[in-house]
A and B are shown apart, each in its own frame.
Chain A
């Protein structure tokens, strides 16, 4: 599903200095698998998620990203989205004045158009979204609010998961989805994600803590430090990290 080959990326900081943040990432996520990418703050894991989604603040200097065999490096963010890539943002942005339901309907129909499906009419859409909202434990009142405006941290994250359920991506990337969630919200978010597990779908969970991985059990765990994946293993690696922290791994980094 997702193949990343030797990906290097840099960013220009405020003072126009170039900083290297990804230094040769290799990753292979097969269809049906759930991978977790863990790492300390500043290791580049959120950057990786954003680069996959096509954020233009970074310069990719080397490497390739293949989604379902297609090289997506040159694709605009919306083309990646319609091709089936979904990013659940760490900090979902507020868009004042734009109705949440209207926004999601436009997004769903944009993806459907790409897949040569007819647009959903208002009734079908409403029925569908109401059932999905129930799944993630979201009140219907959020439909008439502006996108993320005035939402609490937890509400924003639930809204991200709702969007994912509606858009049914091939590859879902969850960027620190557990940050700022209480245990109730964490459970309903995990429930939403687990309901998406499917042999045809891949999920990449980017997280600092092991906590989320007790609810969304990964097939493979990668550890990222200083822009490189320095260790990969099974789900037990996450527990090991929880116990020992990231410090012991630093010695391995060149």
Chain B
């Protein structure tokens, strides 16, 4: 516990100084309570199964500042999106954001503003108990709740183009942000969200983000998470998806940045006939870069199906962790779950730890999982070179071939383009 105290010292003072009289009392009480819970729980250790391969002990010895407000003249977004909310070092930037194309009955606003204007709507979502025991960084996020997004898409509403949430970290070092996003798609609503984390001239910072997605019955929700933080940064995220009857959710995670990135994704099927398709791509290229994807699919209702396809390519002395767990409760009849994880190792010092798990308490299920680890097919490489393709180009072609399966079915051209750019940048190293 003494180790946690070191961390709690700077946290404590940050917490006290961050108290705001502007916030409603219920929120203050909630934050106090979450802070206490974090202090009691402490940082996870590698002795815990859920954190076996990811060491966060260094955080005990690192202190982070609260960010200062900066106003960059312009930002280079890699995505051209017509609807966007921009956050710079955790602060909402009204000037940079653009919501003109938004249907009028959709609420899309910074969380702080939403708490002011739609308190009754936001409060129940915000106060939902998340799994802090397993993922204590969620307690920390709740305690410090920073700025973030509240998105509410009403019944039957179709948002015509993707909503881009850009979290830019810039012109500062050693700071911590706690973005909190709440996204609600009501019955039969349809929306695509892109959550992008990126950096420009910022080092050694720490993003601790929590995103909650609620897909009500028959809603269609697509969620893209683009993590391209600076390679000295720490990025710890918890994404929770709640699905009601006949809802349909797609998630896509691409992790290129950070020194340490941890992505937790949990899908809860609360009602029957919900569907979720999860995809992920991690492209690691730095020594000591570590990306950990932990996915938990909770089949608590019958007739739900989930598919999971994650692929990773690792170079230098990087490490990847994949842990996908499908849990089928007794009574979750006709559960259909697939998961697969494939890894390519490009260097002798890269390391993969993968663990696709099944925990099944219902007879009437079909659950399949698979995992592979290997290197690029030498024969294919040789074949291409024998046909006159340069080695670098051949590698690029094969790398693209490896990830093509993940790219499949991404309809939005700007997202597709973005991902292809990342892949091209990676493959041309």
Interface residues of A (CB under 8 A from B): 14-15
Q: Which residues of B contact A14 (CB under 8 A)?
A: 273, 303, 334
CA distance A14 to B275 in the complex (A): 14
CA distance A14 to B335 in the complex (A): 12
Q: Which residues of B contact A15 (CB under 8 A)?
A: 273
CB distance from B1 to the nearest CB of A (A): 52
CB distance from A10 to the nearest CB of B (A): 19
CA distance A19 to B273 in the complex (A): 18
What 4 pairs between A and B have smallest CB-CB spacing? A14-B303, A15-B273, A14-B273, A14-B334
CB distance from B273 to the nearest CB of A (A): 7
Q: Which residues of A contact B334 (CB under 8 A)?
A: 14
CA distance A15 to B271 in the complex (A): 12
CB distance from A56 to the nearest CB of B (A): 14
CA distance A171 to B42 in the complex (A): 73
Residue on B nearest A14 in the bound complex, by CB: B303
Q: Which residues of A contact B303 (CB under 8 A)?
A: 14
CA distance A14 to B334 in the complex (A): 9
CA distance A97 to B411 in the complex (A): 43
CB distance from A200 to the nearest CB of B (A): 42
CA distance A25 to B334 in the complex (A): 31
Number of cross-chain contacts by CB at 8 Å: 4
Residue on A nearest B334 in the bound complex, by CB: A14
CA distance A193 to B110 in the complex (A): 74
CB distance from B182 to the nearest CB of A (A): 30
CB distance from B407 to the nearest CB of A (A): 30
CB distance from B271 to the nearest CB of A (A): 12
Interface residues of B (CB under 8 A from A): 273, 303, 334
CA distance A14 to B273 in the complex (A): 9
CA distance A146 to B205 in the complex (A): 60
Q: Which residues of A contact B273 (CB under 8 A)?
A: 14-15
CB distance from A57 to the nearest CB of B (A): 13
CA distance A15 to B303 in the complex (A): 9
CB distance from A101 to the nearest CB of B (A): 30
CB distance from B19 to the nearest CB of A (A): 51
CB distance from A240 to the nearest CB of B (A): 43
* Sample (4) of A-B pairs whose CB atoms are under 8 Å apart: A14-B273, A14-B303, A14-B334, A15-B273
CB distance from B302 to the nearest CB of A (A): 10
CA distance A1 to B334 in the complex (A): 39
CA distance A179 to B273 in the complex (A): 33
CA distance A15 to B334 in the complex (A): 11
CA distance A178 to B334 in the complex (A): 32
Residue on A nearest B273 in the bound complex, by CB: A15
CA distance A14 to B303 in the complex (A): 8
CA distance A8 to B273 in the complex (A): 29
CB distance from B285 to the nearest CB of A (A): 43
CB distance from A50 to the nearest CB of B (A): 20
CA distance A253 to B277 in the complex (A): 43
Residue on B nearest A15 in the bound complex, by CB: B273
Residue on A nearest B302 in the bound complex, by CB: A16
CA distance A227 to B303 in the complex (A): 28
CB distance from B124 to the nearest CB of A (A): 29
CB distance from A181 to the nearest CB of B (A): 30
CA distance A15 to B273 in the complex (A): 8
CB distance from A149 to the nearest CB of B (A): 18
CB distance from A190 to the nearest CB of B (A): 37
CA distance A15 to B302 in the complex (A): 11
Residue on A nearest B303 in the bound complex, by CB: A14
CA distance A253 to B321 in the complex (A): 61
CA distance A180 to B246 in the complex (A): 36
CB distance from A14 to the nearest CB of B (A): 7
CB distance from B109 to the nearest CB of A (A): 37
CB distance from B344 to the nearest CB of A (A): 31
CA distance A27 to B273 in the complex (A): 39
CA distance A75 to B34 in the complex (A): 63
CA distance A14 to B333 in the complex (A): 11
CB distance from B247 to the nearest CB of A (A): 14
CA distance A14 to B272 in the complex (A): 10
CB distance from A120 to the nearest CB of B (A): 36
CA distance A139 to B303 in the complex (A): 43
CB distance from B275 to the nearest CB of A (A): 12
CB distance from B360 to the nearest CB of A (A): 20
CB distance from B272 to the nearest CB of A (A): 9
